Structures are given as C-alpha cells and as structure tokens.
Amino acid sequence: MNINPKITKAFNHFKGIIHAIGSDGVVTRNEYNDLKLWCKAHEGICTDPPFNLFYQEVKTIIDTGIMTSEELHDMIGIMQRFESKFQIGEESNRHLHYLQGLCYGILADDQINKYEIELLQKWLENNGHYLEKPQFKHLYGLLLQMNDITALNPEQHKLVRNSLTEIVQMED
C-alpha cells in the first residue's frame, strides 16, 4: 500500500498529541482547540482511504464540542484501529513525528506538568538513539533535573517550552 508521507506524518502527530493531552487525564479547552486546529490543518489530505475514514471518525468526536476522558478514550480506540494502516515509511520519521505530536500536545495549554515530563522522559529513554543529537540530549537533561518536582518554576518552564518548540520545528 502506498500512503502519502504527509498522511503518515499527520497520523503520528495526532497520535503524539492524543498521548500528551491525555497524560494527566484532563483535556483543557486549549488542548481541545489544538485538536480542532489539527483537523483544520489536515482537511486537505483527507480525501483518500484509509485516512479519510480515520479523519472523519476523529472529526465527528471533535465536532461535538465535548472532550471528556470518555471521548479521549474513544479517540485512542480509533487511533489503535487505524494505526497499522499508517505505519509505512521510515521508522525514524514516524518516531520523530510522534515526538513532535507529543510536543504539540504538551505546548497546547502552555502548562507543563509532571505527567508530561514523565511521558517525554520515558519516550527519550525508549528511543535512546535520539540522545546522540544535541537538542534531544538537552531536553533529556532538563527533564532529569525536574524528576522530583510537582510544578516548574517560570525559568524551568521557559527552558522546556523552548526545547519543545525547537523539536516541533524540526524537519524530517
């Protein structure tokens, strides 16, 4: 099956966003708005199967205007049903796109909590080869320093936010 690389990128971004915004069990208004923005940004590539089917199921939930833990759980189920159809192409690109999605989701509400820090740290540990690159090594170092804290101070928040923004802006 030949899938457009933009579609696999969009899917893996979505996957990361969902995991990030669901990491603390609460979906804020800004996180919900980020999901709406994801839909709007990908309207142009949702004409071909199977992405059009995936997109329509996701958009149907988002269009309700409600994003509780139940809807989040439904989105995860949709994502899992379609995941095998979008795992085409370079594995390293899929991993980077997922990480970028995590970063998008974490940045969505401009609050970085301990659950999101743990999620990022675990991802970097499970994908250790990324730690060879300076921007990932820097982020991982920041996260390690924040292991035992419950809230970031403004300077820590700024450092992590800047590091996440740098990753979001990376090209394949």
- Which parts of the chain are beta strand (E)? none
Domain count, the chain: 1
Q: Mean pLDDT for the chain?
A: 93
> Averaged over 57-66, what is the pLDDT?
94
Q: Which domain holds residue 33?
A: 5-168
The whole-angstrom separation of Cα 124 and Cα 18 is: 18
Residue 7, phi-psi category: left (phi > 0), alpha (psi -120 to 50), beta (remainder)? alpha
Amino acid occupying residue 20: A
Residues 87-140: pLDDT tens digits? 877 888 999 999 999 999 999 999 999 899 999 999 999 999 999 999 999 999
Q: At what angle do helices 154-168 and 134-145 cross, to 10 degrees?
A: 150
The whole-angstrom separation of Cα 157 and Cα 58 is: 31
Residues 6-18: pLDDT tens digits? 999 999 999 999 9
